[in-house]
Amino acid sequence: MSVIAPNFKLSEFVKSILDNIFWILLILTLIGLPAIQFILFYIEMPVINGELLTPFLALTWLADPSRSIPILKAFMATDLFRIAAFPGFGFAALIAAGTIFVERKMLAKLQLRVGPFYCGKVEGILQLMGDGLKLISKEIIIPAKADKPIFWAAPVLFVATAAAFVALIPVAPGWVVADLDVGLLAVFAVIGFFPIITILSAWSANSKFPFIGGIRALYQMVSFEIPLILSLLGVVILTGTLNLSEITASQSSFPWIIFLPIGAIVFFITMLAELERIPFDLPEAESEIVAGWLTEFSGMMYGLVQLGTYLKLYSFAALFVVLFLGGWNGPMIWPPFPEEIITEGIELGPVTAQFPGLPLFSQEMLNGTVWFVLKTVGVIFFILLPRGVFPRIRVDMLLDLGWKKLIGLAFVNIFIALGLLYAGILGPGGIL
Amino acid sequence: MSSDSDKETIEKKPEESKPAETKTPEKPAVAKPAEEKPAASKPAPAKEEPELPAFEKGIADKIIEKFGEKTTISFVKPDRVGIKVGRDDIHDVAEFARDTLNYDHVDSVAGVDYPTDKEIEVVYHLSSYTDPTLSRQVLELATRAQREEDPIPGNDATKLPSLRDIFYSVEFHEREVFEMLGVYFEGHPDNRRLLLPEDWADLPPLRKDFRNKGR
Amino acid sequence: MSSPTLPPGLAIQKADERIMTLNVGPQHPGSGHMRIIVQIDGDYIVACDPDPGYVHRGEEKMAEYRNYTLNVPHLERPVIHDSCNILYPYVLAAEELLGLEIPERAKYIRVIASELNRCIYTQYWLAIYGIFLGHSTMFMWPAGDRELLIDLMEKMTGARVTHSYFIPGGIRNDLPANFEDVCLRQVNYFEKRIKEYADVFYNNPILISRTENTGVLTRENAIKLGTTGSVLRASGVDYDVRKKEPYDVYDELDFETNVMKSGDSYARSRIPWLDMMESCRIIRDALQKMPKSGSVRVKLKPNPKGEIGSVYKRIESGRGALGCYIVSDKKVEPYRVKLSVPSFRNLIALPHLLIGEKLGNMPSVYWSLNYWPVEADR
């Protein structure tokens, strides 16, 4: 094979990272700081505690941890932070972006090519950003006979529904956007929205290929939702609760996949189908129906649907982790926060910086997050893998699989769970 | 050395080829099959000048025996037999070739325009998958249709009986000959355009009076 | 089969509007440069009308204006991936008309080039077959391994795809020094690689369940429709022009033809892959038996004139029997050149196979016909 990728050299790799850091610092100092100063100079400053908040004072506050950390902690306690940043949208979007990058690189390695390589110098790390910019800058074309309001709304609804799904996932003890007592039912309700959005967008596009794709998506999602729900009933029977946080907490000694492997397998397969991933990507089957229900989307509308798809992928993988792999539970590997920083502060020559209010996150929470992310990434890897291995299956084979085999297996799983419960081995009041 | 001769070919080509083209209408283009018969064994015969290959001769004789005067043998070469048939008998000869001689499909259907004879020749290349003795053989069944100076494809005298009911495989080939040379095949179920655009309004392009631009 | 006892699909409006017409192509990822007008009732195809001609370039007409040598570069354009094979019958026919007897070494080199080209074409075809079934690894692997042989052809002919290597009178240039060793090494590696496709593709249970018993072409229909090449041999007819009517030196080489009985998409997709292994065998054999030195072309007079008469020659290309019919009238240019291409001959099977199938089977059945749209249009 011809050499497209030059041989890996550590020195070049380090150089490219340093290069990037250099340019970031240079741009920040040459443009960023003057810009901030310039803006601060022109805005009217408020008076706080009889003191005029000058730019200087504001910068002092920023630099003084004893003043900024309480503000940060107060912000982190708000719902806005949970929804937008940590267990919610921002965290999920970050993982989704990582997923896209890993998917492309892994698939490339599987297929003996290099994948994204040039953009961003380090193994094409900025390729995703480039693609995003491209999608944003593209023209949005809407078919002339489309039902425009619904057509516009569909991608937004798709992302919103995916984000609602993300909100139900407990990442660490206490860290969940919406801690519902009927969490699992809420998950089923949210999943039930996806086929409706798909068929709405497909119908409103008023075009043949999206229509066929939408109908296929409807068949696929509806027929796989039933084994999906049934396969999770085993876990509910054994834990006796629908609250996802409590389900996770119940797996502190062992994950449910040990006792319910059939349910886990059924759930994994239905998950692939719900996510429209190969081998179940029939609604987007390229060689048959162009791009299925996505055919008429262009520009950032397509980008939004893709974002929603990957958020959905993260949520399903996280749900698998929460229900079968024990969620945040795992041995403590995160080192405890050094006490002397709180009591004595950090001495920087003549200055001693005090950090009242540290640590920002507890040790349990950080440890739980690490385990959760590790498990989720592992599950995402297995979701991505079939794309390089399997061809697409046909719609009749898909329905056959969903309605006959998976539902049967899901019932077997329920009987196993019931047997374990009535034998008194597991469940509320069980031996283990 | 090789590149030199190639260059010569390229350079000389325009001067020689142009007069040759302009002469095409005046000169009888291709020898008619009747004359071709003695000349036919010329190209191959460097090795076997005197006697014709026996097996191929047998095939030709069977056809002559059955149809007599209606058919002429245009050539008999190793593995190739050429038969020329009038337009009225082509159907019967094809049926005979299928049923008795075991030819089971048509390799290709080629139309050749002869403006000087005011005829268009359609050549069917028959071949056989099922009969192992015929696997090397190709039977060229040629027939001629009347040629019109101002063709209205489908609505003029340029017509031939279709062989689709005998050899199913000619379906698309006959459609191609119809659009490329304007030969209408009577009895063909689907005489539509195939390769040319739907709005093609010029002469059928493979006729000799359709000139390529700039040539 | 065609009159459907169909499950109640989604009726759009009225009962007679159940049928939906789909234009698959010419701008569709699953069609190539052609259009297939399919009518579907639910998921079942009830009517199919192939509409080729989007890349018709009038090669046959152009050939009437150029002399026998100048026809070489443009006649290979219909299938640039198989450019040696599409030239082969033309060159053979032209040689018979011009009365040329080509040297023994040139014949062997032609066979090697032809077999290498068959592999290059089949790899490309296989890559697209993979992506038509949604198998992206099978798209990348053959496309990457094809580079090996393209590099080899580049060494041999000087061009990567449009070689113009065969000319009336032999081949254009002799092999480069040390070609035999390089060729042997590359071909051995290539054969090892394509055997690995079985693991990822041909033995894949999803692929087998998807393509088995779909688009079944029976032996009788395959003969009746006059199909050729891999389509014919997948239906159980043992007919390969290389065996049945050996041209050049194929009668001296050792190889088998691959025949499968089932006649479904799976068999049609497997035959070209098996053929590639036979090609590797032929190349090794030819390299061994080839005269190690000698002339490779007969010197041609400038502007040679063909004998009066007509010649029909056929060879086995990557897709099937490829025929060339030349009528000559003792002029510098041929009077008529007709290419009888396998893609055009196999196209007739498409409506027969698709009617009654599900829409999801359309890409696999269509591409298993080994159809190359540009070649069919000429």
Which region holds residue A359: left if phi is over 0, alpha if psi is between -120 and 50, else beta? beta
**Residue with tokens 């495989």, as numbered in its chain:** B169
pLDDT, tens only, A31-60: 988 888 778 777 776 676 677 777 677 777
User: Which among A71, A155, A91 is positioned nearest to A357, based on CA atoms?
Assistant: A71
User: Which among C219, C316, C319, C248 is positioned nearest to C95, based on CA atoms?
Assistant: C248
Token representation of residue B56: 């191929």
Domain tally for chain A? 1
Question: Is residue B33 a contact partner of residue B144, using CB atoms and an 8 Å limit?
Answer: no
**Nearest CA to CA, how far is B68 from chain C (Å)?**
24
Which residues of A109-264 form beta strands (DSSP E)? none
Chain-wide mean pLDDT for chain A? 84
Chain-wide mean pLDDT for chain C? 85
**Nearest CA to CA, how far is C131 from chain A (Å)?**
8
User: Which among A305, A311, A303 is positioned nearest to A283, based on CA atoms?
Assistant: A305
- Three-class SS of residue C232? helix
- What is d(CA A239, CA B214) in angstroms, rounded to the nearest whole number? 85
User: Could you tell me if residue A25 is inside a domain?
Assistant: no
Alpha-carbon torsion, ordered C279, C285, C291, C296, to 10 deg: 0
Strand partners, A172: A175
Residue of C nearest to A109 (CA): C137
- Percentage of chain A with pLDDT > 90? 10
From A1, A209, A287, residue closest to C147, measured CB to CB: A1
**CATH number, domain at C234?**
1.10.645.10
User: Could you tell me if residue A361 is inside a domain?
Assistant: yes
- Three-class SS of residue B29? coil
* Positive or negative torsion for Cα B169, B174, B179, B185: negative
Residue of C nearest to B140 (CA): C312
CB contact under 8 A, B107 and C340: yes
Query: Mean of the pLDDT values across residues A118-138?
Result: 82
CB contact under 8 A, C134 and A215: no
In the predicted model, is pLDDT for residue A26 greater than 90?
yes
Query: In angstroms, how far is the first alpha carbon of chain B from the final one?
Result: 30
- Three-class SS of residue A85? coil
CB contact under 8 A, C331 and B20: yes
User: Which among C302, C301, C300, C327 is positioned nearest to C312, based on CA atoms?
Assistant: C327
- What is d(CA A289, CA A129) in angstroms, rounded to the nearest whole number? 29
pLDDT at position A25: 92
Burial of A113 from C-beta contacts in 10 A (0-12 / 13-18 / 19+): middle
Best mutation site among B6, B9, B124 for testing chain C: the one with the most C CBs within 10 Å?
B9
From B79, B112, B168, residue closest to C225, measured CB to CB: B168
Query: In angstroms, how far is the first alpha carbon of chain A from the final one?
Result: 57
In the predicted model, is pLDDT for residue B19 greater than 50?
no
User: Could you tell me if residue A297 is inside a domain?
Assistant: yes
Residue of C nearest to A392 (CA): C134
- Whole-model pTM? 0.81
User: Could you tell me if residue A236 is inside a domain?
Assistant: yes
User: Could you tell me if residue C355 is inside a domain?
Assistant: no
User: Which among C70, C113, C108 is positioned nearest to C90, based on CA atoms?
Assistant: C70
Q: How many CB atoms lie within 10 A of CB B102?
A: 15
Chains B and C touch (3+ CB pairs under 8 A): yes
User: Could you tell me if residue A53 is inside a domain?
Assistant: no
Q: Which chains touch B (3 or more CB pairs under 8 A)?
A: C
- What is d(CA B207, CA B209) in angstroms, rounded to the nearest whole number? 6
Q: Given pLDDT bands bounded at 50, 70 and 90, which one contains residue B29? A: very low
Under-70 pLDDT residues of chain C = 1-17
SS3 content of chain A, % helix, strand, coil (to 5): 65, 5, 30
- Of A369-383, B109-123, C27-41, the poorest mean pLDDT is in C27-41
User: Could you tell me if residue A118 is inside a domain?
Assistant: yes
Token representation of residue C307: 């004998």
In the predicted model, is pLDDT for residue B24 greater than 50?
no
- What is d(CA B43, CA B63) in angstroms, rounded to the nearest whole number? 24
pLDDT at position A432: 64
Question: For residue A30, what are the contacts with CB-CB under 8 A and spacing of at least 6?
Answer: none
Q: Given pLDDT bands bounded at 50, 70 and 90, which one contains residue A320? A: very high
- Percentage of chain B with pLDDT > 70? 76
From A110, A111, A287, residue closest to C363, measured CB to CB: A287
Q: Which amino acid is at B167?
A: F
User: Could you tell me if residue C26 is inside a domain?
Assistant: no
Range of the domain at C234: 59-343
User: Which among A372, A382, A362 is positioned nearest to A264, based on CA atoms?
Assistant: A382
In the predicted model, is pLDDT for residue A249 greater than 80?
yes
Query: Mean of the pLDDT values across residues A277-292?
Result: 81
In the predicted model, is pLDDT for residue A2 greater than 60?
no
pLDDT, tens only, B43-102: 444 444 556 777 777 777 777 777 777 788 878 888 888 888 888 888 888 888 888 888
Our measurement of the distance from residue A354's CA atom to the centroid of its chain's CA atoms, rounded to an integer in Å, reads 36
Q: How many CB atoms lie within 10 A of CB C49?
A: 15
Token representation of residue C266: 């799976």
Domain tally for chain C? 1
pLDDT at position A345: 73
For residue A11, the surrounding DSSP H or E stretch is helix A10-27
User: Could you tell me if residue A134 is inside a domain?
Assistant: yes
DSSP C318-342: SSSEEEEEEEE-SSSS-SEEEEE-H
In the predicted model, is pLDDT for residue A356 greater than 60?
yes
The answer, for B195 touching chain C at a CB cutoff of 8 Å, is yes
Our measurement of the distance from residue A371's CA atom to the centroid of its chain's CA atoms, rounded to an integer in Å, reads 15
User: Could you tell me if residue C330 is inside a domain?
Assistant: yes
User: Could you tell me if residue C23 is inside a domain?
Assistant: no
User: Could you tell me if residue C185 is inside a domain?
Assistant: yes
Query: Mean of the pLDDT values across residues B201-214?
Result: 80
Question: Is residue C190 a contact partner of residue C280, using CB atoms and an 8 Å limit?
Answer: yes
pLDDT at position A313: 92
In the predicted model, is pLDDT for residue A199 greater than 80?
yes
Token representation of residue C198: 């079985």
Question: Is residue B63 a contact partner of residue B83, using CB atoms and an 8 Å limit?
Answer: yes
Range of the domain at A353: 89-422
Residue of A nearest to C128 (CA): A287
Burial readout B36-50 (b: 16 or more C-beta within 10 A, e: otherwise): bbeebbbbbeeeeee
DSSP A279-335: TS-GGG-HHHHTTGGGTT--HHHHHHHHHHHHHHHHHHHHHHHHHHS-TT-----SP
pLDDT, tens only, B31-42: 444 444 444 444
In the predicted model, is pLDDT for residue B15 greater than 70?
no
Question: Is residue C272 a contact partner of residue C126, using CB atoms and an 8 Å limit?
Answer: yes
From C53, C226, C335, residue closest to B195, measured CB to CB: C53
Question: For residue C150, what are the contacts with CB-CB under 8 A and spacing of at least 6?
Answer: C120, C160, C161
